[in-house]
Chain A
Amino acid sequence: MLDGNGANAAQEWTGAWADEFAANVGRFARLPFLWQRAQRVKKGATPSEVVYEEDRIKLLHYKSDVPAKYRTPLLFVFALVNRPYILDLKTGKSVVSQFVERGFDTYLLDWGIPTDAEKHLTLDDHINGYLQNVLEFICERNRVPQLNLFGYCMGGTMSAMFTALHQRLVKNLILLAAGIDFASRDGLLQLWTDRSIFDVDRFVKAYGNCPPIFLQNAFLMLKPIQNLIEKPIGLFERLADDEFVDDYFTMEGWLNDNIPVPGEVFREFVKYLYQENRLVQGTMPLGKHIVNLKKITCPVLNLMARRDDLVPCSQSRPFNDLISSQDRKTIEFDAGHIGMAVGSKAQRELWPQASEWLASRS
């Protein structure tokens, strides 16, 4: 027979499991409506207009009720592997709105979705072609000689290369989780793209553009337990939390919105950076140019995510030692690769700091 303590414990145990059972019934009842919830997801938070188009690329200009406080405009450059609206995902999770509200005249470069016809486009076409045209357009439109450049992930690597070749056009440079030095094997991607494992020439010859499903699966496999088991369980357990479910589907919508990468860009990025690590050696070819990071002299803010499994800190950290800028700052923030942009903690703590850094130099 149970004593007083044992009876209390058994009662608590029974109560806890009964509550959990009731909660699960509620969760199952919400399951049939999940599909509708997923369809209601909106992309983008800040109003914008397209002000420039060239081939498949579009330049978005963000509108603000308040006139810009700073004369030097700001251009966001994202990677070629995903859609750029991660930087303006939703209200309360938008890096773009942090800068717009701060008083910057803000633009975002949307690389568009490449077709098979664009598989021969190289990094040179994107950096010294499209990106240069866009920057010159913004400078002409705003009647300024330079602008502020913000590069995220692969966009950061490209922005660094652009600044090294066209320093006169860039006033301040901000890099967010940008891969620069690919020597270490901290990240699984660096290991998997080793030339002994991945023949990128043969891959590009066979597939042309890198298929979106290929990269999507590669990113998924970086954290298989988390992505395939923990995330769906987490969603199920919080189905009653409408805000969480909305955030979840907004995020998943973007994560699954992968696009092809132009074949030659993919080849150059994997071969020259991941496999041969040419950027830090000063032998990175870009068309007829060789990229020399020492040519970067403008103020630089280098942001890294401490828990980034896609672009580990060891890839970004060496950047500040490779440039000639006197004014350079590094912030290592406790977040993941995407959390740096959309995480609540980053929105509260990191982006006000970053926008203050830029404001004091604009």
Chain B
Amino acid sequence: MNDVFEQAQRFTEMWTNLATKVAAASAGGNGDAASPEASKQIRGAIFAALSQQAEQFMRSEQFLDLLRQSMSGSIQMREQMKDYLTEVHHGLQGVARQDVDSLLIALRHLETRVLDRLEAVDGKIDALARQLKTLKTANGGTGGTRQRAGKGKRH
């Protein structure tokens, strides 16, 4: 019960502060308070006050709690939808997104293993090329250089 009163008190404080700032901004007009330009100035001051209050609110515990709950709720809904659709697809003997994801992960791991092996081979070839160059230089010849093939499409 105390939590409810505390929350209510915090909300009341927030809106009271906002109203005070808006009133202060509105009272800052000059003698031509009704002219369009002066009205725009007052409006600008009100928006600045609102912005400040919005920033404070978005740093407050209430907002962060709301954010946490909202995120958790969205994610939970998404997870439930995914599980439901997976069951439906499987029930209809079809392929679900989860199956495609598993396949992609398997391919990715395979790619990583192959690339790691290629890197190791590349390292050994580089080492051999360096040794060969050293030998040739020692014997009075000139060492060759490796051409690097890029992976992408060049234009």
Partner-B contacts on A (CB < 8 A)? 9, 12-13, 16-17, 19-20, 49-54, 116-117, 119-120, 133-134, 136-137, 140-141, 188, 191-192, 196-199, 202-203, 205-208, 221, 223-226, 229-230
Contacts and interface: CB of A to CB of B under 8 A. Distances in A.
Given A188-B58, A221-B58, A17 B36 contact: yes
B45 to A, nearest CB: 12
B146 interface: no
B51 interface: yes
Contact of A197 (B68, B79, B105, B152): B68
Given A51-B154, A54-B153, A137-B152, A197 B78 contact: no
Interface in B76-106: 78-79, 82, 97, 101, 104-105
Contacts of B10: none
B1 interface: no
Which of A116, A136, A206, A223 has the largest count of B CB atoms less than 10 A from its CB?
Answer: A206
A54 B151 contact: yes
Contacts of B104: 117, 119-120
Contact of B155 (A19, A49, A192): A49
A20 B38 CA distance: 12
Contact of A223 (B51, B78, B152): B51
Among all A-B residue pairs, the 6 with the closest Cβ atoms: A54-B152, A20-B36, A206-B78, A225-B51, A16-B35, A206-B75
A224 B36 contact: no
Contact of A52 (B35, B58, B155): B155
A13 B32 contact: yes
Contacts of A51: 154-155
Interface of B: 32, 34-37, 47, 50-51, 54-55, 58-59, 64, 67-68, 71-72, 75, 78-79, 82, 97, 101, 104-105, 108, 148, 150-155
B62 to A, nearest CB: 13
A191 B152 contact: no
A203 B71 contact: yes
A133 B151 contact: yes
Contacts of A134: 152
A92 to B, nearest CB: 27
A197 B35 contact: no
Contacts of A19: 36
Contacts of A52: 152-155
Contacts of A20: 36
5 contacts: A9-B32, A133-B152, A188-B59, A197-B67, A202-B75
Contacts of A208: 101
A140 B75 CA distance: 46
Contact of A191 (B32, B59, B75): B59
Contacts of A12: 32, 35
A221 B82 CA distance: 28
B124 to A, nearest CB: 17
B152 A207 contact: no
A207 B36 contact: no
Contact of A16 (B36, B152, B155): B36
B54 A224 contact: yes
Nearest to A264: B108
Nearest to A237: B40
Contacts of A13: 32, 34-35
Contacts of A137: 150, 152, 154
A13 B32 CA distance: 8
A133 B149 CA distance: 10
A151 to B, nearest CB: 20
Contacts of B151: 54, 133
Nearest to A141: B154
B113 to A, nearest CB: 13
A120 B47 CA distance: 43
Contacts of A206: 75, 78-79, 82
Given A136-B148, A205-B79, 9 more contacts: A17-B34, A19-B36, A52-B153, A52-B155, A54-B151, A54-B153, A199-B71, A206-B82, A223-B51
Contacts of B68: 196-198
B51 A191 contact: no
A95 B151 CA distance: 30
A49 B150 CA distance: 19
A203 B67 CA distance: 14
A199 B152 contact: no
Contact of A226 (B35, B37, B51, B101): B51
Contact of B150 (A136, A196, A202, A203): A136
Contacts of B105: 120
Contacts of A226: 47, 51
